Amino acid sequence: MSVVGCDVGNLSCFIAVARQGGIETVANEYSDRNTPSIVSLTSKEREIGSAAKSQIISNFKNTITNFKRLIGRPFNDPFVQNEIPNLPYKVVEMPSGGVGFQVMYGGEQTVFSVEQIYAMLLTKLKVIAETNLKKPVNDVVISVPSFYSDTERRALFAASKVAGLHCLRLFNDTTAVGLAYGIYKQDLPAPEEKPRNVIFVDVGHSAMQVSAVAFNKGKLKVLGVSFDPYLGGRNFDRKMAEHFAVDFKQRYKVDVTTNKRAGIRLLTECEKLKKTLSSNSGKMTLNIECFMEDKDVSGSMTRAMFEEICADLLERVDKPLKRLVEETKLKKEDIYSVEIVGGSTRIPAVKAIITQVFGMEPSTTMNADEAVARGCALQCA
Ligand code: ATP
Ligand code: MG
């Protein structure tokens, strides 16, 4: 029986399998190990993952993204209500009081619950794993944010059942990363020796999570966790988009807030620009053809400008780090290393804050994208 580990992220998913030779992350039908967390309903079918990505703009009303953080929450939850203006599709209240999406599917107006959409994504991950392993997959370990509530966990269990999966366990992201770190380390202290303490920082698309883990040979103990459940890469994209919205209104007399399609295009380009600014500090440009009213628009930003525009977000980064230090009472000399994972730890300013708080350069030896999935697969190996 094969057991599979899935990291279901707010932006993308990774799947890892335990084979005799070790842990392997597997690729989807596009030979990509990254499967976007997107479900697109069309007039004929449902597209999921990489195939749905092309629909984000052209079919935005029926393409569900950013749903990981909506599962297991009531429709009237303030977080859900806050999210709705950022989502280009129609969010509705289910008879159960939960979150649903109203879409056009197969030519008819249809409502899907967030659990159903989540289940569609999990079904896709199951098929990808089965294609790779060339045998049926039923048992999975799925990662969840360490701050997920019981209701969020229960809703995810239910979704995995709908997908025909037997979820052996929901594994906290932070523990999964710890396991992925420790498993192949040959030089960990013996069980009776002083443990090796490692800090893990994961800044993803929708959230930031931090943990301190003590390692001995064959043993891992989570000393503490902390988080900012509402700080991730997407917040930076939105800040940049707000900046360009004002800029374009002045220079091109177009109001992007009145056009959802243009809004998604701007956000997509801001994410690209943000990534470019992680490896370049000079002035980088953003160009969008036929943005609104047949006008081509362009703008630019330097890394310094990015940091200024996102200052209030950057100010939040050190809070969970400092809380973890306070809670675990770890001193600099007690910490062996700080390991960073998650796409948004690639932002230089984020890295600088981590360096400053812990007094050491973070180490990037772990696979920032795949560590969580690998840890989940190890859990069941
Ligand atoms: P979450 O953990 O919140 O559920 P996720 O696991 O899907 O989300 P990740 O894949 O860890 O998220 O990270 C995705 C985020 O990282 C996106 O916001 C993306 O823009 C950002 N990112 C990826 N590469 C870079 C880069 N080079 N510079 C800045 N940001 C980056
Ligand atoms: Mg993640």
Q: pLDDT value at position 22?
A: 86
Q: Which among 123, 109, 11, 13 is positioned nearest to 67, based on CA atoms? A: 11
Q: Which atom of ligand 1 approaches the CA of 209 most closely?
A: 2
pLDDT one-digit tens code per residue, 9-38: 999 999 999 887 789 999 999 999 999 999
278 lines ligand 1 (CB under 6 A): yes
Query: How many angstroms from the chain centroid is the CA of residue 358?
Result: 24
Centre of ligand 1 from the C-alpha of residue 346, in Å:
8
pLDDT of residue 380 exceeding 70, the answer is no
For the chain, the average pLDDT equals: 96
pLDDT one-digit tens code per residue, 323-338: 999 999 999 999 999 9
Q: pLDDT value at position 20?
A: 78
69 lines ligand 1 (CB under 6 A): no
Which protein residue's CA is at the shortest distance from atom 23 of ligand 1?
343
pLDDT of residue 3 exceeding 90, the answer is no
Task: State the DSSP string of 190-250.
Answer: PTTSPPEEEEEEEE-SS-EEEEEEEEETTEEEEEEEEEETT-SHHHHHHHHHHHHHHHHHH
Ligand nearest to the CA of 68: 1
Q: pLDDT value at position 381?
A: 58
pLDDT of residue 299 exceeding 90, the answer is yes
Torsion sign, CA atoms 41, 47, 49, 50: negative
Q: pLDDT value at position 315?
A: 98
Which protein residue's CA is at the shortest distance from atom 27 of ligand 1?
275
Centre of ligand 1 from the C-alpha of residue 19, in Å:
28
Ligand nearest to the CA of 13: 1
pLDDT one-digit tens code per residue, 81-122: 999 999 999 999 999 999 999 999 999 999 999 999 999 999
CB 119 within 8 A of CB 68: no
pLDDT one-digit tens code per residue, 169-220: 999 999 999 999 998 888 999 999 999 999 999 999 999 999 999 999 999 9
Using CA atoms, how far residue 284 sits from 38, 234, 235, 258, 316, in Å, is 29, 19, 20, 26, 25
Q: pLDDT value at position 1?
A: 60
Q: How far apart are CA 380 and CA 75, in angstroms?
A: 34
Query: What average pLDDT does the segment 238-245 reach?
Result: 98
Q: pLDDT value at position 132?
A: 95
